[in-house]
Amino acid sequence: MKIAVTSQNKHSVTGHAGKCRKFWIYEIKENAIEGRTLLELPMEQAFHNSSPHEPHPLDNIQVFITGGMGGGVRQRLTSKGIDCVITEESDLETAVKHYLAHLAKGEPLSGKQIPIHIREA
């Protein structure tokens, strides 16, 4: 599984997913982080500037974690089968680990408040 996390500053989870051009891509195997790579997109490939009808470098992820996103980005990603999660967690790895912990427990991320402040977009 691949999880993309918005990180415009390269150090923490950031919001404004539509304008973000820097993403940490986490490779997940057996519910554990195997590694991560930084994906830096040119301005024309930010969601806000690119067409939803053309291929995008993030099309091959399964989960998208961000500090905030609008309805257009959410619709664009979910239409490609990508799960969208909004979090208040600022630490990149912690946000991913919290997502994986809830996934392993079979807990839905929508419809209720959970202590780590992750919610499905």
Distance from chain centroid for Cα 84: 6
Contact 24, 4 (CB under 8 A): yes
Q: What is the residue-wise DSSP string for 6-49?
A: E-TTSSS--S-TTT--EEEEEEEETTEEEEEEEEE--GGGSTTT
Please give the chain's pLDDT, 121 residues, in tens. Answer: 999 999 999 999 999 999 999 999 999 999 999 999 999 999 999 999 999 999 999 999 999 999 999 999 999 999 999 988 889 899 999 999 999 988 877 766 653 333 345 555 5
Count up the domains in the chain and report the number. 1
Its pTM stands at 0.88
Distance from chain centroid for Cα 51: 19
At 94, which CATH number?
Answer: 3.30.420.130
Q: Which domain holds residue 56?
A: 2-120
